[in-house]
Amino acid sequence: MGSIVNDRRFLVALLVTAVCGLMFKVSYFQQNQAAYLFPIIISSLTLAFSITSLIREYFDLCVDDFKAFPFFEQVPGIVITIVGVSLIELIGMYSSSFLVLVAITTFYSTKGSLVNRFIKSAVFSFLFLLVMYLIFNVLLNVQLPRGLMF
Amino acid sequence: MCLSGEDVEFIQFFGEVLTPINLLILIAGTIGGLILGATPGLSPTMAVALLIPFTFQMEPASSLILLGAVYTSTVAGGAVSGILVNIPGAPANIATVMDGHPLAQQGRATEALHYSFISSLLGGLVGVFLLIFFTPALAQLALKFGPAELFWISIFGITIIASLGGGSVVKGLIAGGVGLWLSTIGYNPVLGEERFAFSEHLAGGIHVIAALIGLFAIPQVLTLLGEAKKTGEITFAELRNHSVVKSFLFTLSRVKAVTIGTVVGCIVGVIPGAGGQIAGLVAYDQTKKFSKDPSKFGKGEPDGVIAAESANNAMVGPSLVPLLTLGIPGSPTAAVLLGGLLINGLFPGPDLFTVHGKVTWTFIDSLLLGQVFMMIFGLAIARYSRFVTKIPNHIMAASVVILAIFGTYSVQNNISDVIVMLVLGTLMYYASRLGFSAAPLVLGLILGQLTETNFLQGQMIAGEDMIGYFTSGTINQVVIGLCVLSIVYSIYNERRQISKRRATASEA
């Protein structure tokens, strides 16, 4: 223990142990234990592994396998997708997908002015969804939610 | 050597592959797989996972032909971007890049692509023949397995994928355990009681296909989004004309590289959980060791490309041997393929070669023909592959996320599956950055219900003496021994890495 990297790894191991502990708790404390026998065994073993991991992290016996992630660059994409998915049943699969496609491709594009990027994104999104329509609705006959729009 | 009627059973079903619809699917799957493989950022595992929903409307044989063709050709197609732009299309092609790109920089890109596809064909054909001749015999062995043996086999699959997946074995086992636990959400397979339905979205459990798409596609999307705003010009290698016949003869003359690659690929393929990346790297390393002049490697040695590519394609067929016989996938992509099999009502074991013999042999025959198509179309479209390597990351990310949403929704026409897919995928991305691998989690999810059913059946048969029932018998003891061995080996390997790290740190 001591370095920032080790502390971070220990905290992650602690979090994982807490999650595994929660899995064990919800599996074990049930009225009909016969129906939960398998999850109890699995969650006990997983909890044991996570405690092992915690001990190993504490004594710095693990390989440093952490990789950085550009969280703040991913957040807009995640938010756009969440908004899009929450709109699926309201405005329809194709309309919400169009919004997601346009928003992501416009926001993350780096070349050209905003208007230019928006127009290019809109054209791409329309063509992409046209292909999706042909595959899902025409070829595979899958009924997708239509909502208020399409 | 004399071949029995059973050995040549596969020939009877070639006609099924050659029906117009199946042939069209095979060609489309091969071309599509080559394009997906050549696209940096799209892994074979993700490609197969995204395709599964498209196969629901198809006949089981046709759907497996499509998935098999994509599996085969994405592995080979990944070499294209590796050779041309120094970015491997898939982890299986990492070793190919080491000499493939230097060859391209010397103006020999076309040659390198030729060697790559021709050696992929040679390795791939041997791998599929291994699948054809060994699988039915091994499937017969599975007849001797009762619930206890099948339970341990599932545990072994998860253990070995957790151990060989690279990184920490304990984290692999935790991921496998979480996967098994997640599979118990929904109904108890024997008592029928609903469990862990914390939210309406989890009622009925987590659908395997939604989980597969989420766990493999969403982390890729987030990776692409993270790199979307990075600008940097990609340098493309120049493609000059080169005779295919000359390349063919040259590849055939490199007997040592082809043999090492193929043998290593076949061995690694049969080992559950190992995958193409290990096959390519081990074959490359061994070919270098056996070379008269190892110093040429890394500077544009054709043998490096030939060994790596013959290995990663030779791995494809054998990776299906433990999958089709015992339900243990030989690679992460084979784990996804297992999902495809189960969705089609095909359970690994002897029934695949008796009750479902037509579907299974048609699928295996299509793999054989798919190898030939892969080479033909690979050679033909390689020169046009610049287009896919130019697709910007943000376009790719947006397209994959929409494909994932459409595909997941179409599984059960249920928005809850989409939510589960996105949540699982996002969590998996961050977990993967913290050293957790998706493969054991996926396998736990896929095998969870089978494992629990076998466990509960075993419990009923065993009565009071459960430990005795689950630990007696040679097969049980061998499999338990293998589970322990795989964990011990991984811990030993990890400790060696730590010692090395400490030695390097103290030297510094």
Closest partner residue to B402 (CB to CB) among A23, A32, A100 is: A100
Query: DSSP state, B186?
Result: E
Cα torsion angle, A70, A73, A77, A79, sign: positive
With beta carbons under 8 A apart, name residues in chain B contacting A20.
174, 177-178
Of B409, B368, B309, whose CA–CA distance to B100 is shortest?
B309
Residue B376 distance to chain A (closest CA, Å): 27
Dist. CA B122–CA B257, nearest whole Å: 11
Measured between CB atoms, which of B167, B221, B394 is closest to A109?
B394
The pLDDT assigned to B1 comes to 46
Would you state the structure tokens that stand for residue A8, as one six-digit string?
């971070």
- Chain A residue numbers with beta carbons less than 8 Å from the beta carbon of B413 are 142-143
Nearest CA distance, B109 vs chain A (angstrom): 30
pLDDT along chain B (508 residues), means of 10: 60 89 94 84 81 85 92 87 80 87 88 93 94 82 83 86 74 93 91 85 85 90 86 65 89 94 89 73 88 88 94 89 82 82 83 86 92 92 71 88 90 90 95 89 86 91 89 91 87 80 75
What residues of chain B lie within 8 A of the CB of A104, using their CB? 225, 394, 397-398, 401
Sequence ranges of the domains in chain A: 4-58, 71-139
Please give the backbone phi and psi of residue A146, each rounded to the nearest 5 degrees, phi first: -100, -30
Instruction: Give the distance from residue A12's alpha carbon to the nearest chain B alpha carbon, in angstroms.
Output: 8
What are B195's strand-pairing partners? B186
Structure tokens at B25: 């699917």
| Identity of the residue in A27, A84, A140 whose CB atom sits nearest the CB atom of B57 | A140
- Residue B346 is predicted with a pLDDT of 85
* Residue A40: per-residue pLDDT: 96
Q: Which of residues 90-129 of A touch B (CB under 8 A)?
A: 93, 97, 100-101, 104-105, 107-110, 124-125, 128-129
Of B231, B497, B501, the CB nearest to A110: B231
Q: How far is A73 from chain B (nearest CA, A)?
A: 6
Are the Cβ atoms of A93 and B406 closer than 8 angstroms? yes
Looking at chain A, which residue has its C-alpha nearest residue B220?
A74
Question: Is some CB atom of chain A closer than 8 A to the CB atom of B504?
Answer: no
Angstroms from B240 CA to nearest CA on chain A: 31
Check CB contact under 8 Å for B409 and A144. Answer: yes
Complex-level ipTM beyond the 0.90 threshold? yes
Q: How many CB pairs under 8 A join A and B?
A: 170
Q: What is the pTM of this model?
A: 0.82
Which residues in chain A are closer than 8 Å to B405, comparing Cβ atoms?
A: 84-85, 88, 93, 97
**Cβ atoms B402, B47 nearer than 8 A:** no
Flag if B497 and A64 touch (Cβ within 8 Å). no
Residues of B in contact with A34 (CB under 8 A): 191
Instruction: For residues B68 and B360, give the distance between their C-alpha atoms in angstroms, rounded to a whole number.
Output: 11
Q: What is the pLDDT of residues A44-76, one digit of tens each?
A: 999 999 999 999 888 877 777 788 888 999 999
Please indicate whether, in this complex, the C-beta atoms of A142 and B419 are within 8 angstroms of each other.
no
- Chain A residue whose CA is closest to B441: A46
Nearest Cβ partner for B498 among A63, A82, A84: A63
d(CA B70, CA B64) in angstroms, rounded, equals: 10
Residues A98 and A126: beta-carbon distance below 8 Å:
yes
Query: Which residues of chain B lie closer than 8 angstroms to A27, CB-CB?
Result: 181
Of B168, B397, B422, the CB nearest to A85: B422
Sequence-distant (≥ 6) Cβ neighbours of residue B22 within 8 angstroms: B16, B61, B62, B65, B362, B366
Angle (CA) B140 B143 B146, round 5°: 155
Residues 211-240 of chain B whose Cβ lies under 8 A from any Cβ of chain A: 221-222, 225-229, 231
